[in-house]
Chain A
Amino acid sequence: MSLSVSPGEVVTVVGPSGVGKTTLLRLLALFRPPDEGTISWDGDDAWALSDRERLAVRRRVATVFQEPSLFNASVERNAEYGLRVRRPWSDRIRDAISGAIGVSDASRRVRDALETVGLESLRDQNALSLSGGEAQRVAFARALAVEPDVLLLDEPSSNLDPRNTAVLEDAIADARDRGVGVVVATHDMNQAERISDRVAVLLDGTIIETGPPEQVFESPADDRTRRFVTGELVY
């Protein structure tokens, strides 16, 4: 299969549960090397880079998984996590002792990210006390705060009600407008149609079709896509 994302583009990977969408995202996030093929960033094979170079690539990416997996700390501490790990250890130790965030614009970035998802007022609350929807939004804010070049989102609205889904989709659109490349794995075809610049259909372990949402959903080139979109193809 082949999948690419450009700056300022939202690519949605759709497919039934268990088809490998999460695995694909984990490969893109460089969690592990692929058994075959390459994961390229700016034309370089990411797994041919040195550890330090690959870490630098990873830090241009932020991943949000289906489960929010928040840490047992305040919402603010969760949101700043990605910024914190990007700092030198000496600064982090000093900040840990003083309790400060440290990065001069970290507070702004964390505040902006929490405002984007509508959770600024909960910044001091323990993240594990949040509802599922709030937790999912904190996980999203945690990714936004690092201002990544690429956002990888795995079923980002699975825990969200329609209003919060709209908030999230607006935030995805904002990120795209700022030049962030976004890859979203979802089985929600309606959402894919709403937010995507391109849709990739993942079936039987391979991407069988890629194109603009109107093409994929209204006049698919592959008959399996048509049957999947119309619900004839049941998994």
Chain B
Amino acid sequence: MFPLTATLPDASWTYFFSIVAVSLYVSGLAVAVSTLVSLPVALGIGFSEFPGKRAVTAVINTGMGFPSVVVGLLVLLVVSNQGPLGDLDLAFTPEAMVLSQFVLATPVITSITLSAVEGVGDDVRDAAFGLGGTDADVALVVIKEARYGIVTAVLAGFGRAISEVGSILIVGGNIVYSDGTSYTRTLTTAITVEARQGRYEAGLVLGAVLLVLVLGVNWLGSWIRSRGRGRASGGGRRSP
């Protein structure tokens, strides 16, 4: 951390922490909102049968690969003065970045959640129903059984959001206040600045911080999954 303070242009902990804070705020809020939208959508699709279900699922899966710069451009069009949300003055604000990351994270969370929900066997649903469960009880059982997959979905969405650069650069503008603290600059966009200005050492340090965050999230996901598997495998006996 010490070389960071020596090499960053603004050379201050305040600058560094403001970047991390903006990154976590934007990604955290985007993933929180995305989760609130994705879970009901995934559960609704997972629990129902309707014409075109496969097509809807395919569209969601395709959304996982949305080019982020295209998303950024579209979001900028929406929030710009001439756009439908122009009156809200969202362009080049953290909230616009939240919106673009929401668009990027939602398909990821929805798709993985849907996969987890559909991965719960019909036999489990039948067991719940056969013991007197209502449709709501059966749904609750499926959610509980899919819980590790749902957690993975949320963490994957966070991973996508925190490491994203293209769209937030477009809609956020990579702005720093005159006092050197970040307004819309995140770890990823700060790295682009450092790289462009040839301050590779600072860029690498920021990259390391970003990696630690992403690895931490992945480690958390792995730990939660292994905890579930550990419980499931318990005594390790499965044969009759």
List residues of chain A with CB under 8 Å of any chain B CB. 29, 31, 55, 58-59, 61-65, 67-73, 81-82, 85-86, 125-126, 128-133, 139, 142-143, 146, 152, 159-161
List residues of chain B with CB under 8 Å of any chain A CB. 121, 123-124, 126-134, 137, 141, 144-145, 228, 231-240
Q: A72-B228, A85-B137 are in contact. Are A132 and B131 (CB under 8 A)?
A: no
User: Which of these, B137, B145, B228, B235, contacts A129 with CB under 8 Å?
Assistant: B235
Smallest Cβ distance from A68 to chain B, in angstroms? Answer: 8
Provide the residues of chain B in CB contact with A129, threshold 8 Å.
231-238
User: Contact between A85 and B144 (Cβ–Cβ < 8 Å)?
Assistant: no
Smallest Cβ distance from B112 to chain A, in angstroms? Answer: 18
User: Which of these, B127, B132, B231, B234, contacts A65 with CB under 8 Å?
Assistant: B127
User: Contact between A69 and B137 (Cβ–Cβ < 8 Å)?
Assistant: no
Provide the residues of chain B in CB contact with A131, threshold 8 Å.
237-240
Label chain B's interface by main secondary structure. Answer: helix
The CB with the most chain A CB atoms within 10 A, among B121, B124, B228, B234, is that of B234
Smallest Cβ distance from B141 to chain A, in angstroms? Answer: 6
A-B pairs with beta carbons under 8 Å apart, 5 shown: A31-B130, A65-B127, A69-B123, A131-B237, A132-B239
Q: A85-B137, A129-B232 are in contact. Are A146 and B237 (CB under 8 A)?
A: no
User: Contact between B134 and A125 (Cβ–Cβ < 8 Å)?
Assistant: no
User: Contact between A159 and B240 (Cβ–Cβ < 8 Å)?
Assistant: yes
Q: A31-B126, A65-B123, A143-B131 are in contact. Are A72 and B238 (CB under 8 A)?
A: no
Complex formed: what's the CA distance from A65 to B129 in Å? 11
User: Contact between B121 and A55 (Cβ–Cβ < 8 Å)?
Assistant: no
User: Which of these, A58, A128, A133, contacts B132 with CB under 8 Å?
Assistant: A58
Closest B residue to A131 using CB positions: B237
User: Contact between B228 and A69 (Cβ–Cβ < 8 Å)?
Assistant: no
Closest B residue to A122 using CB positions: B235
Smallest Cβ distance from B173 to chain A, in angstroms? Answer: 45
User: Contact between A62 and B144 (Cβ–Cβ < 8 Å)?
Assistant: no
User: Contact between B132 and A72 (Cβ–Cβ < 8 Å)?
Assistant: no
Complex formed: what's the CA distance from A4 to B48 in Å? 34
User: Contact between A62 and B131 (Cβ–Cβ < 8 Å)?
Assistant: yes
Complex formed: what's the CA distance from A72 to B143 in Å? 11
Provide the residues of chain B in CB contact with A72, threshold 8 Å.
144-145, 228, 231-232
Provide the residues of chain B in CB contact with A64, threshold 8 Å.
130
Provide the residues of chain B in CB contact with A125, threshold 8 Å.
234-235
User: Which of these, A69, A128, A132, A159, contacts B233 with CB under 8 Å?
Assistant: A128
Complex formed: what's the CA distance from A71 to B236 in Å? 16
With A85-B137, A142-B131 given, can you name 8 additional A-B contacts, CB distance below 8 Å? Answer: A63-B126, A63-B131, A69-B121, A71-B144, A85-B134, A130-B235, A139-B127, A152-B130
Complex formed: what's the CA distance from A125 to B124 in Å? 19
